[in-house]
Amino acid sequence: MAISVFDLFKIGIGPSSSHTVGPMRAAVLFVGALRERQLLERVTRLEVNLYGSLSATGIGHGTDRAVIMGLMGEWPDRIDPKQIAPRIAELLASGTLPLDGRLPVPFDWQRDMRLLDENLPYHPNAMTLVAFGESGELHRDTYYSVGGGFVVDAEQAAAGQLDQDHTRLPYDFSSAEELLQLCKRHGLRVSELMLANEKAWRSEADIRAGLLRLWDAMRECVDNGLSQEGILPGGLNVRRRAARLHRSLQELGKPNVIGSTMSAMEWVNLFALAVNEENAAGGRMVTAPTNGAAGIIPAVLHYYMKFNPEASDGDVVDYLLGAAAVGILCKKNASISGAEVGCQGEVGSACAMAAAGLAEVLGATPEQLENAAEIGLEHNLGLTCDPVGGLVQVPCIERNAIAAVKAINAAQMALRGDGEHFISLDQVIRTMRDTGADMHDKYKETSRGGLAVSAIEC
């Protein structure tokens, strides 16, 4: 199974990679399947069936709206987020869905958008789309949104192909131990090894340009988050804080990137809050590796780039490549899906990735990078996914800020050592997988346990 840095980092929209980005991509793929079978013009009715976690928290995560946008032919990396609400309102008023953006099909929201209280095999994020014609059913397919915007259909899931890319890589690795051995054997830094692997898909120029485009999207997301104020949508009346915090921090002196002042921590908090408030509002961002954890990796990189006068575009590339190496290990050997293993798979993985990326640009050896990632993930083990109201707001927004600071601390601790440590990253990833398997479903993105119900009790 080959995973690219561009699989882990994808431009999309909020509030969830698994519940918004993935379902939108699945719906577009369904439209493509209808087109290939020359069935589009014969469709007279569409039915959307959401299961498991997509059903339990789909409304709060915008799954229903995302699927509709996908059926209209929109991709998450291209759609204008500001157009979603008015287009949904138009559909509700007219009862007509423009399939593929051009073919009017009747759509009764109450009848055709079905949230079902059952689970399908293979993954808790499941959805079945059905197209009908004059004589009955034309085509149906089931899709699984397996985290980070990754989507597989029923056939791929049944074959165990939760990732179907089998590209041959020059330095393929499936464990941190293998990664370290490859780095040592070939005299490579982690970012250098990752760059060599990425060349199996595209040229070095395209890799660097693509990573810098991701960085531009991350910066734009922060800027948007710093400029917006008011109440986040969804009904919890959560107030945006980033703009006000930014104004107060601008009155303070600028800390050095290596320092550990209270002011420094507040800047990291600021960048993470800005991203995740934009995510909660349905804005554009980069999955890193998911939307629910999208603020951690950008926050650490923003802080490094803003306050290190020697920072360069090359650091952005090395940071994202170093972070992706750890993300690949988390996805291969555990999960980055909150619906599968809880928030340890999202925020925990992102914290480990950010720690690894920062360690890389600060000159860490591969062993120190592995240690930084291990520290970052180890201290997020057992973290539940329990969003209040099914919204990616409480505790998700603050959780990103806390984990971003934790990632910096993990990198600093690792850089003070020589890479030797008691528990390996591989062991921690396996523990995350096992903990997720043992975790009760009500703590895995269903909003049926933890803080999600505690808030109601209060």
Question: Coil, strand or helix: which one is 224?
Answer: helix
Q: How far apart are CA 71 and CA 106, in angstroms?
A: 13
With a threshold of 0.85, does the pTM exceed it? yes
| Closest among 417, 407, 416, 429 to 358, alpha carbons compared | 407
Specify the residue for token string 């006068």: 309
Q: In this predicted structure, what is the pLDDT of residue 64?
A: 97
Phi and psi angles of residue 416, each rounded to the nearest 5 degrees, phi first: -80, -10
Q: In this predicted structure, what is the pLDDT of residue 258?
A: 47
The third-level CATH classification (topology) of the domain covering 176-457 is 2-methylcitrate dehydratase PrpD (1.10.4100)
CATH architecture for the domain at 17-158: 2-Layer Sandwich (3.30)
CA distances, 91 to each of 63, 99, 125, 162, 374 (Å):
16, 11, 25, 33, 48
pLDDT tens for each residue of the chain, 458 residues long: 899 999 999 999 999 999 999 999 999 999 999 999 999 999 999 999 999 999 999 899 999 999 999 999 999 999 999 999 999 999 999 999 999 999 999 999 999 999 999 999 989 999 999 999 999 999 999 999 998 899 999 888 887 765 567 899 999 999 999 999 999 999 999 999 999 999 999 999 999 999 999 999 999 999 999 999 999 999 999 999 999 999 988 876 555 444 445 778 999 999 999 999 999 999 999 999 999 999 999 999 999 999 999 999 999 999 999 999 999 999 999 999 999 999 999 999 999 999 999 999 999 999 999 999 999 999 999 999 999 999 999 999 999 999 999 999 999 999 999 999 999 999 999 999 999 999 999 999 999 999 999 865 54
Q: How far apart are CA 50 and CA 70, in angstroms?
A: 14
Q: In this predicted structure, what is the pLDDT of residue 259?
A: 46
Between the CA atoms of 106, 108, 109 and 113, what dihedral angle is there, to the nearest 10 degrees?
A: -80
Q: What angle do CA 61, 150, 137 make, to 5 degrees?
A: 80
Contact by Cβ (8 Å): 368, 414: yes
Q: How far apart are CA 160 and CA 174, in angstroms?
A: 17
Beta-bridge mates of residue 98: 104
Pairing of strands 45-51, 125-133: antiparallel
Contact by Cβ (8 Å): 225, 275: yes
Contact by Cβ (8 Å): 370, 179: yes
Q: In this predicted structure, what is the pLDDT of residue 162?
A: 59
Q: In this predicted structure, what is the pLDDT of residue 216?
A: 98
Omega before residue 395 within 30° of 0, cis: yes
Contact by Cβ (8 Å): 53, 19: yes
| Closest among 192, 148, 63, 167 to 336, alpha carbons compared | 148
Q: In this predicted structure, what is the pLDDT of residue 260?
A: 47
Instruction: List the structure tokens of 119.
Output: 């689970």
Domain ranges of the chain: 17-158, 176-457
